[in-house]
Amino acid sequence: MTQQSIPHLGIVGSGAIARGLATVAADRGLAVTLCARSDASAARAAERLPASVRVGCGQAALGGCGFVVEAIMEDLGAKSALLGTLDRVVDPQAVLATTTSSLSVAVLAHASGRPDRFAALHVFNPVQRMELVEVAYPAEATEATRASTLELSAALGKTAVEVPDAPGFVVNRLLFPYLFAAVELLEETGMTPEAVDRCMTLGARHPLGPLAVLDLVGLDVAVAIGEAIGHPAPPRIQAMITAGRLGRKSGKGFH
């Protein structure tokens, strides 16, 4: 496979996942267009992206892309509405994809209007460092769609693992009960976040402790994922969100 066989990549969103995906793609020689929500968001994103990435806020710029990835907030209504809009903007033969980590791929695929050319491409934060991408498809996805998704994953330098269309896929379904258990342990024992994380980094050889992972993911995102997989977040997380402590993106969380 060559870089030339990968279609122009379009990305909709300007958050950490969208920027990380655009950066990795550009660094590996792919043509990339990123569409942000507003001129201000586009300007902020452009400052943090390679110069080769085309950045703007007009979806018409995505018309020539052969593979377009939605990478906005983890909200079913917002994602569904955006995908429906993209179906009317991008090339009819293009593949649409979502970076959802917990929502139904089948529902999003039908919202896109092209379930035969739809895939979930769940990359992990930070995208530049994480090797895995979980890929999932609706039942209607064609073999060409599946092949294109795997080719793009390889071009991004990722290892793709096909997972079932189930809430949380594999990683989040197993990970978040563990993360929430660490929060409950804080409440039960009075340990500090630093001590809990140190136990898991040194004792289990995890690169990050569970509370640092929650800070990285974002506590609001963690709540949404917990709800989706049927494992609600502990009350302490809800209280922290109310206090504006969302993790790294707000500058304050468990750490």
Residues acting as catalytic residues: 122
Beta bridge partners of 33: 10, 54
* Lookup: tokens for 93: 């033969």
C-alpha 255/C-alpha 212 separation (Å) is 7
Does residue 81 contact residue 54 with C-beta atoms inside 8 Å? no
Does residue 76 contact residue 48 with C-beta atoms inside 8 Å? no
What backbone phi and psi angles, to 5 degrees, belong to 195?
-70, -45
Does residue 216 contact residue 245 with C-beta atoms inside 8 Å? no
Q: How many CA atoms lie within 13 A of 77 on its CB side?
A: 0
C-alpha 69/C-alpha 11 separation (Å) is 5
Task: Fill in the DSSP letter of residue 62.
Answer: G
C-alpha 49/C-alpha 27 separation (Å) is 10
Q: Using DSSP, state whether 230 is helix, strand or coil.
A: coil
At residue 26's C-alpha, the angle toward residues 24 and 32, to 5°, is 115
Return the closest-CA partner of residue 32 out of 5, 15, 50: 50
